[in-house]
């Protein structure tokens, strides 16, 4: 990191697995500078502007994920055409049929790349076969273009869940009549692939973003300052907080929790809660800033989530674009808090199928199905339970499917299930709680403390099921290893000796100082944050540039020699 080697033209233009185009690389900012330079000459010509941004977005994805940009093109073309079919079809079975085609194609693509090894391992264990997935896409490119891609392994396209959810929401919104189909395929391709948010969100709704494609470019002096603030804020979160904590503390503990004390495991959990927030919200901040410089507004994805006073409130503040997507396209179609629907039972069957494959046990499936049947029978005898059952089943299904969205692993299922259970239990407790008055500061502080600790506790399973390096980003989950890691950490947490806390704090003093700083900033009042954000946005340009230089120098000194990918790239 101390020397800057000038790259060759092949390194600049061709995909390299060890040099992806991401926000923490100097290469990205050179790329973005060139994009801005060309953009400044064409931004007034709407059609040319959108086409140009579509092409550079494809290049960005190619540099990030190689020839998987063909999957992006496939999803784009498919939903572009299906959007017209849905719009032209009469109401009823035909319109629903075309929507079903879109959802099926999108889910098949997602399942093929994200869950192929999981299904293969599960079926092999169940029926005693040795089937191995084959990358048919690689085989096609090898045959068609004489390429030499590996066909014996299915790699995970970076950010596939994000752009798949975007294309699905487009088809659903056209079906619901919220938007009309996009006429120009280049405009639609730009919506699907807009590079700032393409690989890690926020998930952009067609109804919110597509109207912006046809608006004239506008960037005020205050908006420029705000964009600069978000970019710096995101980079500092990623480099100063997330990567520093991960490399110097969190990754070591989770790699071998049994070798560290219970107190160190506890602090690693708190550290990971800060790391995953700083990493993911840092990416979102940068994406929002970059998009704003290009004249587009992306949705807010985080709202100080560790200020939440309940698990339900946490999910209104964390990964808001996914939470609202699941609510609008999953929870409400199930019936939401109104009751059950056919979609509820389809979702139950889907989750039961995954539970069966994860466990490989007919007994587990029997218990799961038996529990559902008992709940349904009880609801028939006790009518008051029916509404409560269906509402909370819808909620639990949403959270379980949200867990499976992150990956096919018991750890993700447990993580999603625990969060759903936390919401359900809080809803019951809030009706009888003597501390329910959140207007009293001590009740609110206590609620925030409990919520933060519960959310951090659930991250035992989330972190154990996640990969954090480029080396293992494209590997399948080692479910047994993840399970044992989580169990080992639970065992260590059950034997915490706080008497050694001073020694541990001194040993990791720089890391704990950074963690303390990060949490203090996070818990600052929102009005304070808005004040210094607006002050920076309105500051003289010379002062802003001076701040940029200081921030870059600080980040360069701290930047890890090993590339740390953004955590949510793997999803």
CA-to-CA dists, residue 454 to 379, 449, 501, angstroms: 30, 9, 21
Cα–Cα distance between 515 and 241 in angstroms, integer?
7
Nearest to 56 by CA among 210, 213, 196, 209: 196
pLDDT over threshold 70, residue 179: yes
pLDDT over threshold 90, residue 66: no
Lowest mean pLDDT among 17-21, 43-47, 384-388, 426-430: 384-388
> Which pLDDT score is estimated for 441?
83
Mean pLDDT, range 292-320, rounded to an integer = 92
CA-to-CA dists, residue 18 to 11, 63, 66, 122, angstroms: 11, 10, 11, 31
Nearest to 121 by CA among 409, 365, 487: 409
Mean pLDDT, range 265-276, rounded to an integer = 94
Higher-pLDDT residue of 341 and 544 is: 544
Domain boundaries, the chain: 22-217
Cis amide prior to 202 (ω within 30 degrees): yes
Higher-pLDDT residue of 254 and 413 is: 254
Angle at 60 between CA 1 and CA 56, to 5 degrees: 130
> Which pLDDT score is estimated for 480?
55
Mean pLDDT, range 39-55, rounded to an integer = 92
* Catalytic choice (132, 136, 406, 477): 406
> Which pLDDT score is estimated for 296?
94
Nearest to 469 by CA among 390, 354, 560, 369: 560
Cα–Cα distance between 272 and 519 in angstroms, integer?
12
pLDDT over threshold 60, residue 425: yes
Higher-pLDDT residue of 340 and 495 is: 495
Higher-pLDDT residue of 427 and 19 is: 427
φ/ψ region of 385 (left if φ > 0, alpha if ψ in -120 to 50, else beta) reads alpha
- For residue 2, name the pLDDT band (cuts at 50, 70, 90): very low
Give the up-direction half-sphere exposure of residue 467: CA atoms within 13 A in the CB hemisphere.
19
> Which pLDDT score is estimated for 1?
41
Q: Note whether 390 and 327 are within 8 A (CB).
A: no
Q: Note whether 171 and 99 are within 8 A (CB).
A: yes
> Which pLDDT score is estimated for 3?
46
- For residue 25, name the pLDDT band (cuts at 50, 70, 90): confident
Helix axes 93-127, 69-88, angle to 10 degrees: 140
Higher-pLDDT residue of 140 and 505 is: 505
Cα–Cα distance between 461 and 482 in angstroms, integer?
8
Mean pLDDT, range 167-174, rounded to an integer = 90
Read off the DSSP letter of residue 247.
I
SS3 string of 453-470?
HHHHHHHHHHHHCCCCCC
- For residue 434, name the pLDDT band (cuts at 50, 70, 90): confident
Nearest to 30 by CA among 44, 12, 49, 5: 12
- For residue 560, name the pLDDT band (cuts at 50, 70, 90): low
- For residue 55, name the pLDDT band (cuts at 50, 70, 90): very high
> Which pLDDT score is estimated for 481?
60
List, for residues 93-103, the tens digit of each pLDDT value.
888 899 889 98
Task: Indicate the Cα dihedral angle 324, 328, 334, 337, nearest 10°.
Answer: 70
Cα–Cα distance between 401 and 467 in angstroms, integer?
20
Long-range contacts of 93-100 (CB under 8 A, 24+ apart): 95/175, 96/175, 98/175, 99/171, 99/172, 99/175
Nearest to 171 by CA among 77, 79, 95, 81: 79
pLDDT over threshold 70, residue 8: no
Please confirm, yes or no, whether 406 is among the known catalytic residues: yes
List, for residues 443-455, the tens digit of each pLDDT value.
889 999 999 999 9
pLDDT-above-90 percentage for the chain:
33
> Which pLDDT score is estimated for 432?
75
List, for residues 467-479, the tens digit of each pLDDT value.
555 455 555 555 5
Computed over every residue of the chain, the mean pLDDT equals 82
Radius of gyration of the chain (CA): 24
Q: Note whether 401 and 350 are within 8 A (CB).
A: yes
Residue 178 has phi, psi (to 5 degrees) of: -75, -30
List, for residues 127-148, the tens digit of each pLDDT value.
666 767 666 666 666 666 665 5
Q: Note whether 312 and 306 are within 8 A (CB).
A: no
Lowest mean pLDDT among 286-295, 335-344, 506-515: 335-344
Nearest to 474 by CA among 215, 154, 200: 154
> Which pLDDT score is estimated for 521?
94
Enumerate residues 6+ apart whose C-beta is below 8 A from 166. Answer: 191, 192, 203, 204, 206
Cα–Cα distance between 242 and 285 in angstroms, integer?
14
Cα–Cα distance between 128 and 45 in angstroms, integer?
60
């Amino acid at each position: 990191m101390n020397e800057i080697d000038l790259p060759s033209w092949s390194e600049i233009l061709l995909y390299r697995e060890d040099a992806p185009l991401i926000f923490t690389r100097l290469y990205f900012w050179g790329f973005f500078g060139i994009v801005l330079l060309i953009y400044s000459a064409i931004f007034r010509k709407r059609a040319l502007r959108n086409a140009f941004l579509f092409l550079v977005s494809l290049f960005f994805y190619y540099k990030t994920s190689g020839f998987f940009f063909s999957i992006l093109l496939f999803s784009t073309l498919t939903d572009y055409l299906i959007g017209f079919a849905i719009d032209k079809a009469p109401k009823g079975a035909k319109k629903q049929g075309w929507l079903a085609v879109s959802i099926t194609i999108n889910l098949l693509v997602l399942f093929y790349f994200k869950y192929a090894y999981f299904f293969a391992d599960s079926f092999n264990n169940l029926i005693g076969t040795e089937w191995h997935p084959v990358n048919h896409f690689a085989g096609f490119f090898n045959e068609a273009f004489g390429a030499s891609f590996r066909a014996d392994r299915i790699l995970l396209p970076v950010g596939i869940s994000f752009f798949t959810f975007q294309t699905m929401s487009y088809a659903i919104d056209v079906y619901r009549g919220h938007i009309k189909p996009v006429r120009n395929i280049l405009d639609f391709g730009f919506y699907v692939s807009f590079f700032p948010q393409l690989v890690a969100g926020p998930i952009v709704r067609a109804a919110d973003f597509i109207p912006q494609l046809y608006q004239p470019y506008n960037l005020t002096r205050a908006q420029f300052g705000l964009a600069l603030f978000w970019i710096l804020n995101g980079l500092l979160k990623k480099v100063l907080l997330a990567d520093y904590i991960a490399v110097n503390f969190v990754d070591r503990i989770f790699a071998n929790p049994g070798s560290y004390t219970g107190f160190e495991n506890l602090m690693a959990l708190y550290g990971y809660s800060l790391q995953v927030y700083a990493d993911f919200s840092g990416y979102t901040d940068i994406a929002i800033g970059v998009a704003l410089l290009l004249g587009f507004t992306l949705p807010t994805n985080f709202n100080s989530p560790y200020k939440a006073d309940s698990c339900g409130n946490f999910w209104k503040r964390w990964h808001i674009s996914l939470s609202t997507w699941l609510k609008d396209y999953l929870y409400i179609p199930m019936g939401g808090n109104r009751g059950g629907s056919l979609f509820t039972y389809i979702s139950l069957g889907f989750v039961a199928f995954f539970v069966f494959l994860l466990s490989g046990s007919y007994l587990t499936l029997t218990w799961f199905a038996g529990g559902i049947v008992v709940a349904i029978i009880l609801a028939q005898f006790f009518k008051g339970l029916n509404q409560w059952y269906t509402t909370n089943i819808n909620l639990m299904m949403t959270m379980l499917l949200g867990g499976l969205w992150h990956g096919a692993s018991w750890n993700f299922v447990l993580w999603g299930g625990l969060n759903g259970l936390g919401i359900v239990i809080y809803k019951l407790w809030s009706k009888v709680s003597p501390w329910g008055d959140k207007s009293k500061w001590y009740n609110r502080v206590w609620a925030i403390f409990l919520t933060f600790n519960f959310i951090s506790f659930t991250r035992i399973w989330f972190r154990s099921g996640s990969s954090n390096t480029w080396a293992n980003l494209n590997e399948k989950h080692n479910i047994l290893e993840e399970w044992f890691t989580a169990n080992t950490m639970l065992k260590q947490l059950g034997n915490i000796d706080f008497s050694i806390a001073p020694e541990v704090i001194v040993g990791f003093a720089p890391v704990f100082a950074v963690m303390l700083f990060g949490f203090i900033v996070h818990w600052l009042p929102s009005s304070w944050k808005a004040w210094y954000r607006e002050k920076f946005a309105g500051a003289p340009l010379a002062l802003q540039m001076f701040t940029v230089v200081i921030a870059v120098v600080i980040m360069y000194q701290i930047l890890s020699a090993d590339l740390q990918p953004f955590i949510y790239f793997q999803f």
